[in-house]
Structure 1
């Protein structure tokens, strides 16, 4: 059944269909080893996914439901069977994601050629969205600075004690840096090699003072490097997310509707 006559000429779905038809979709098709003739093609799947995003539909199950009920989605499918949610999810994660940069760059070029998009100005979205984030996925600059200071305060005493215990020396000024720890660790490992000392692990084994010193030096090196990297990621910000380094966390005030203390 021809349903295109039921869709207004200025409906955005027509622009989506025209846009997809003008794009170079060879990178997308190259992600397939075989394409079923009686199923929705990669071009049609891309069209329904883009149109779904335009309408704030992101769930693969909701996209499947829209393809069954919505006239515009059926127009994009061009009479092909409705893809199930697994097919839609697989298309987005395995095929579309593999070439998304190339596809969307080509989409911008096609829109610019059609006069629907201007490339003269670049706008950055500054929207701030509250997320439900795990409390262990963020790093606070203030906390890292405190932990770093505690570790750095322990290192001079550790170096002095190690030098007295094993008769080695690492020259340093009042400030101790990571390369001092590396030099100390190198000398401790040389003592291990010269003494043919085998380190032990697990319960029931007693570690030698040399093994404890080497493990402690490695721990100091690991922590100082970790804190330095975290502070580098923070930069001028007060925090960042481990799962997205560019994301910054914010403290949000919640309205107290029960006590009438809500904030406008």
Structure 2
């Protein structure tokens, strides 16, 4: 037998209002978005035409859909029609925004300002709830795939290799056109290459010369052996064809690539802001480079407090701009900056200590290896040598002395300046055995270069990481920031962007990370309530067990009396009852069956 079911029968709806359950994520979204001041939402809009959709409503729709792993604009619009919670967040509005409206809103520059304001309010909310403090910021990064084809790559080395060949070909063609008596005079520099504008000017002048030849050929008579003008026109047409179909388009592509590269070595044609990187998700196990972005996150207690998106594939050079943006927004954001060894560099250490005046808990690349026994026994490592501070010299484990020789300044490919002190081995011309140890295979004296600034920061990193608070905070790093990426990629399934361009992807990842924050906040609130109910339930159970044990003791005394009374009655009557089982229903409602062991 099944219960009655019909969805076509008209019913009288007595429930006029509906709300999500108490600790649903919709409440967290509503509380956060509604806290945005009205002044931040006001913008210039037209006084004519259809009224705009409320910004708060669109923001709530995006946060809820991203928390449910829905990233498509069409799917979000569909949720607005079918999902009950989404309808409640929209305020039961009659007209649902189209997918075009949703997509335009999440890539709009105005949305970026709203997202920044949203994170500021969220940090204030967490601080008021006591969920975060200013003890430490945990920083880490991950790579997200761009919405671009993985085979639309443009490499800087390829452009640098092929563009000079194109320039040489253009210069040769330029000389050939001049030899055909075409007055060009478009080259800006005698020895320089022709840019696309100059090549277009050359093509225009060649086209004009071809038009003039057409008029001349139309009026001239047929000559034996063919017309000289026709042969000249044929060559010019060939040159013009090369210019229009090969040289000019390729030169334009190279110029566009050079403008787009910036400091990068590659970009994708379908999303020019994306850089080709080696992703952690590599199903083919071949290390294939794919277009993507480098996401940097600063967290505490698994909440994303700050984030930024970079086009650089390595984490080392993202720390300085990321921390600059953080401490510009909040100068007292944290006292400790905690990150893994991928961020350990002289430039980063110096920026945190000198510019920000903060403490860092960031190991350098060789930190773990330097703790091993094999490293301490390696006589090639300068760290194991003796240093005489008074004479400023080093002595290796073989007794070879290295004395200061000169200063050296080096620059890396990014322009960072590093100062070194160069030490040369002493000349042991009187001792052939030691002289052999003091020279290289080519006969030159051995040299070592010491970066005093880098050694200072390495020692400072060791000291801070080995301290009690340093060990505690650095041990917390892996369980604080790593779960954010796990929840983002595994639970929310956000591994690839749905929009293109650095500004648009920044907006989208900001929405996704905030949705992840609100999911966690809603779970924390629900767990606190459940924990409170469990504590109340445990105390209630203890009271019940006490009352139950008390009633059992009272019942046992009653049963004993009944057993004695039954035995006496049967003995008097000299008979055994037909049913030796007696049923007693105590006042507690528990049925107890026992047997009277009677003998005649």
Give the TM-score band, short-chain normalised. 0.5 to 0.7
* C-alpha contact 2:146 2:271 (8 A) present in aligned 1: no
Structure 2 residue aligned with 1:254, among 278, 284, 299?
A: 284
Rounded to whole Å, the distance in 2 between the matches of 1:231 and 1:140 is 10
**Residue of structure 1 in register with 2:149 after alignment:** 133
Residues 1:226 and 2:261 aligned together: no
SS of the residue aligned with 1:127? strand
Confirm or deny that 1:101 pairs with 2:116: no
Partner of 1:91: 101
Larger radius of gyration: 2
1:171-218 Cα offsets, whole Å, 9 max, x none, are 976x5412699399569839947x972779xxxxx8554454455456
Alignment of 1:37-116 (within 5 A): 43-59=56-72, 60-61=74-75, 64-65=78-79, 68-69=82-83, 72-78=85-91, 80=92, 87-94=97-104, 97-98=107-108, 99-115=110-126
Contact 1:182–1:221 (CA under 8 A) maintained in structure 2 = no
Runs of 5+ consecutive residues of structure 1 not aligned to the other structure = 201-205, 257-264
**Whose helix proportion is higher, 1 or 2?**
1
CA displacement at 1:254 relative to structure 2: 0.4
* Alignment partners' CA distance in 2, 1:76 and 1:184: 57
CA RMSD of aligned residues (A): 4.9
SS of the residue 1:46 aligns to: helix
Tell me, in whole angstroms, the C-alpha distance in 2 between the residues paired with 1:167 and 1:108.
65
- d(CA) in 2 for partners of 1:191 and 1:115? 70
CA distance in 1, matches of 2:111, 2:150: 28
CA contact 1:67–1:82 (8 Å) conserved in 2: no
Which structure has greater strand proportion? 2
3-state SS in 2 of match to 1:6? coil
* Post-superposition CA distance 1:234-262 (Å, at most 9, x none): 35544211232221224656059xxxxxx
Between the aligned partners of 1:180 and 1:130, the Cα distance in structure 2 is 31
Distance 1:224 1:67 in 2: 50
Q: Evaluate the alpha carbon distance shift between residue 166 and residue 96 of structure 1 in structure 2; reply closer, same or farther with a 3 A threshold.
A: same
Q: Is 1:189 matched up with 2:202?
A: no
CA contact (8 A) 1:138 1:240 kept: yes
Are the equivalent residues in 2 in contact too, given 1:241–1:249 (CA < 8 A)? yes
C-alpha spacing 1:236/1:100, structure 2 compared with 1 (3 Å): closer
How much does 1:63 deviate? 6.1
Q: Is the 8 A contact 1:64 1:83 kept in 2?
A: no
Q: Return the offset for 1:51.
A: 1.7
Contact 2:149 2:270 in 1 (8 A): no
8 Å CA contact 1:142–1:238 kept in 2: the answer is yes
SS at match of 2:267: strand
| Aligned 1:118-129 pairs, distance under 5 A | 126-129=142-145
3-state SS of the aligned residue for 1:139?
strand
Once residues 211 and 83 of structure 2 are traced to their aligned partners in structure 1, the CA distance between those partners, rounded to angstroms, is: 76
What is the distance in 1 between the residues matched to 2:271 and 2:93? Answer: 38
1:13 equivalenced with 2:29 (yes/no): no
Contact 1:234–1:240 (CA<8 Å) still a contact in 2?
yes
On the 8 A contact 1:185/1:214 being kept in 2, the answer is no
Describe how 1:144-155 pairs up with structure 2 within 5 A: 144-155=159-170
Using the size of structure 1 for normalisation, the TM-score is 0.62
CA contact (8 A) 2:156 2:266 kept: yes
What secondary structure does 2:144 align onto? coil
Give the length in aligned residue pairs: 239
CA deviation string 1:65-84 (max 9, x = no partner): 487455x4354244x26765
Residue 166 of structure 1 is aligned with which of 174, 178, 181? 181
- C-alpha contact (below 8 Å) 1:188/1:210 kept by paired residues: no
